[in-house]
A = this chain, B = another copy of it.
Amino acid sequence: MNYQQLTALIKKKRSFLCVGLDTDTDKIPQHLRSFDDPVFEFNRLIIDATIDFAVAYKPNMAFYESEGIKGWKSLEKTILYLNQFKDAVFTIADAKRGDIGNTSERYSKAFLSEPPAGFGFDAITVAPYMGSDSVKPFLKYPDKWVILLALTSNPGAFDFQTQKLQNGQTIFETVIQQSLEWGTTENMMYVVGATKAEMLSSIRAIIPDHFLLIPGIGAQGGSLEEVCKFGMNDNCGLLVNSSRGIIYASGQTDFAIKAREEARILQNQMEHELARHGII
């Protein structure tokens, strides 16, 4: 999916909501556990319940890998299910990969190549620590995206990312600046945690037009209004993720209904913000 298509999808759905599929086997409602693949069944019902209000889905690889081959199968079924809605959803492999060139090439094949060679995700989150040749292999796929970690939403973000270099910039600003030589607004987004919304201003000064993926709304405490105030651009330029707040809104048989309600609440707020910024 390219920039124009994603922007059109946001305007059509009046939403820039990304639903994080951090599906934890311990938190799946009891009544689904008799299914052959409870994780996939849970994901399918969450997707069906929220697809009217969400533009993107973001399975978190750790939750699948930690279940071994069974988990890998659940992930495969989930992405194949999502791939059916190709024009209606943007898919993100939250993998935070990054390694020397020949290895990043392998990861890019795994996540971005179309099935059966790979999963066929639209995008993958990538860690910048190893520099250009660890990121570039992911940028070779047309209409696919790297979502580079810039300023993350966790406490450890302040250990390194916000430290200042001798050039006067923070590490995360330097990561963004340098990466402009690797990709474009058409194939690169950035992870910026909602818990530091005010820092979005300095980021928008460097990258006014790029999409930003914003985690940390909800369970991690970020405010949507603040994010939009400092981070929204003329095309929206935001994907705001909520994981636990939606998928675990209820742990009972009504989990999908409750997830839909939570997604609708966020979509309503997003529609309001899109209107306020003159985008719809």
Q: How near does chain B come to A38, taking the closest CB pair, in angstroms?
A: 17
User: How many protomers of this protein does the assembly include?
Assistant: 2
Q: How far is the CA of A63 from the CA of B167 in the complex (A)?
A: 38
A97 proximity list for chain B (CB < 8 A)? 62, 96
Q: How far is the CA of A131 from the CA of B162 in the complex (A)?
A: 11
Q: How near does chain B come to A19, taking the closest CB pair, in angstroms?
A: 16
Q: Is the C-beta of A275 less than 8 angstroms from some C-beta in chain B?
A: no
Contact A118 B149 (CB under 8 A): no
Q: Quick one: CB contact mask for A85-99 with B, threshold 8 Å, 1 for yes?
A: 000000000101111
- How many chain A residues touch B (Cβ–Cβ < 8 Å)? 56
Q: How far is the CA of A129 from the CA of B103 in the complex (A)?
A: 19
Q: How far is the CA of A166 from the CA of B103 in the complex (A)?
A: 32
A278 proximity list for chain B (CB < 8 A)? none
- List 18 additional contacts besides A68-B72, A131-B156; criterion CB under 8 Å: A62-B97, A62-B104, A63-B103, A66-B110, A94-B99, A98-B127, A100-B153, A101-B154, A128-B159, A128-B160, A129-B149, A129-B160, A130-B154, A131-B155, A131-B157, A131-B160, A160-B174, A160-B178
Residue pairs across A and B with Cβ atoms less than 8 A apart, 18 shown, are A22-B103, A60-B103, A62-B103, A62-B106, A63-B103, A65-B110, A68-B76, A96-B97, A96-B127, A101-B154, A128-B159, A129-B160, A130-B152, A130-B156, A134-B154, A163-B165, A163-B167, A171-B171
